[in-house]
Amino acid sequence: MSRIKKECDIIDPGKVYSGFEALSVQELSEYESTAFHFTHISTGLELFHLHNNDRENLFAFVFRTPPDDDTGVAHILEHSVLCGSERFPVKDPFVLLLKGSLHTFLNAFTFPDKTVYPASSMVEKDFYNLMVVYGDAVFFPLLKREVLMQEGQHLEYRRPGEQDGRFERVGVVYNEMKGALASAETLVGTWSFRSLFPDTPYGFESGGNPLKIPDLTYKGLSSFFHKYYHPSNCRIFIYGNIPTKKHLLFLQENLLSSFNRQQISSEIPLQPRWTEPRTIIKTFPVGKEESPAGKSSIVLNWLIGTATDPLKMLSMEVLNEILLGNAGSPLRQALIKSGLGEDISPASGLDTELKEMVFSVGLRGTDPYQQQAIEFKILDTLKDVAETGFEKELLDPALQRIEFRHREIRRGGSPYALQLLWSSLRGWLHNTTPEVTLEFERWLKVLKNRIDEDKNYLVDLLIKNFLENPHRSTIVIKPDPEQSERGQRKEESLLKQVEANLSVEEKQGLIADNRKLLDYQNTPDGLEELNKVPMLNIQDLPAEVEIIPTSRVDFGGDVGCYFHDLSTRRIVYLDLVFATHGLEKQDSLLLPLLSRALCGCGLAGIPYGEVARTLALYSGGFTAGLDAGSVVGREEVREQIIFRLKTLKGKLIPALKTVKDLLLGADFSDLDRLKDILLNQRNALKVSMILGSR
């Protein structure tokens, strides 16, 4: 979609606009955008705007917030700043925005090295309402003591007001992290990178360790805020069609004019390199009656190098895709066929969200005694791959899938701009410009040329970063039937110790503090305060509803095809829908397995690995899912199975042929493959149930 430059778009590098100096202006054609990069003269705040024709405008306030302990101060502060600010002194403006806004996204995130506050809307007035409320929250929060008690933790008697009762510790983040760190998958995900960074802020639990959260004081929370939540440590990312100059003026007039520059040290140091690998063992609770057999995860992790080098990062993405990207990938296939575990650990893959990249691979559904065998299988497979090199049948699908992934406008329930935000922060947060890690097509050409010129380029990269890299950790996450009871006893003991050390006056003070908290929570916001939170009026809404272009071609009978002509960067999305409501109940129960098997099995005479590589070569993905819903205007429930294919326009025909072959001739005779699919499905369901229970 072409962009017509208006006078309000014209910005010259070196000139000042509403207190912001323009650092650079660059056309990013792959995103159909113009990138404007600014610094706020008075504070040093940096702003990056991807200006384009997209009506879904997004902003994000971003702060580097490296932790120096396990108290979860960054996480608790993320919760706390959204509990009232100077201009909007209500207890939960976030909830009010959820009710009175047409936002398309509204959230906040704590990462191991940063805290991010993004929001988006397709209505300009709403966008600025969100921006001023979020901006006031991060720069001018009230940070009441009651908020730390509520969002962090506090002690209270189980029978309120009774000093002879029993203490308990409660709090939003405290309870959240108790649940999170009792999950095997969470432990695997966090220790996969934490184990590699013991000498940096990445070695701490940024979300907070429940044993350490009580150590956070109000002074500590306030000090962390004043240290990091300042425009001099802030980056603002903006995306969409609202003119750049309008953003600059709004921010200067509403949020930034009262600040001066501060010297803030928030840079993440590099991890000193090891000379030999290490092993980390962690446990998670299971029921005392449960057998611990087959419930462990064992994962190998490598520290690769900085994520700010776009060529190396892209090269490692290609290596990751070759090794693990599909069912036919050599490392994935070797681990699954080894029988050493049930399936690949979800932590497996390349992590580019930290200052330095991490590559992880391992198995779940295994046992601790398999550690040496799993390490040997992974390292031995990598040696075999290095010796045989990367044939065209492995390299071409990997390059194709990486190109597809970067080209695709991915949403997944959130704005596409959010993906661009994460890409820009990889470099921008670590002292390069945001464009460096946003650009893709330029670096893909460089990579392809490098591979053509040096056939051993990727093999040498594999050898250097995996086989000859001693900065490697093995994490063993195993079940402990005694852990829950032991942890409960320890918590009770600590609470009794705290209670025993309190004087009568201190106990009375604790009761008084809890009464203040209850009064704070139970006292409704005043009408005057509520009216300060901006809401949309009917006149703020667009007069016309966007119409998605739709046409239909009938193929006879009840079969037809709906076409939607939209801008998709030459990607074709195809849904094949089959009604299933006529099936018997026992047959319907097999549909989840059938849907996965049809997308993951082989064909007659062609093993599933080869079919997976063919799909990777010609498509960006072939998946299936079940759907059920009511029909508008009828008392009828419609059940269906939907197969989804996405592919580049030029590869539609071979992609469709492969899908047709699978739907009409999938080979289910490979029982080992069906077992792998079933175990993967079972484990995914178990994880989703655990996450859904929080």
Which residues are part of the catalytic machinery? 78, 151
Q: 3-class SS at 604?
A: coil
Sign of CA dihedral 590, 596, 600, 603: positive
Composition of the chain by helix, strand, coil, percent to 5: 45, 20, 35
* Residues whose CB is less than 8 angstroms from the CB of residue 582 and which lie 6 or more positions away in sequence, other chains included: none
H or E, element range at 22: strand 20-28
Token duo for residue 307: 């994520």
* Residues whose CB is less than 8 angstroms from the CB of residue 38 and which lie 6 or more positions away in sequence, other chains included: 17, 20, 21, 22, 23, 46, 47, 48, 49, 248
Token duo for residue 471: 């900065």
User: Angle at Cα 281 formed by Cα 279 and Cα 286, nearest 5°?
Assistant: 160
Q: How far apart are CA 504 and CA 531, in angstroms?
A: 43
H or E, element range at 109: strand 109-110
Q: How far apart are CA 191 and CA 351, in angstroms?
A: 13
Reference 171, options 221, 98, 117; nearest CA is 221
Q: 3-class SS at 143?
A: coil
Place of tokens 């003269």: 41
Place of tokens 């046409």: 551
- Determine contact, residues 683/364, Cβ cutoff 8 Å: yes
- Determine contact, residues 426/114, Cβ cutoff 8 Å: no
* Residues whose CB is less than 8 angstroms from the CB of residue 661 and which lie 6 or more positions away in sequence, other chains included: 603
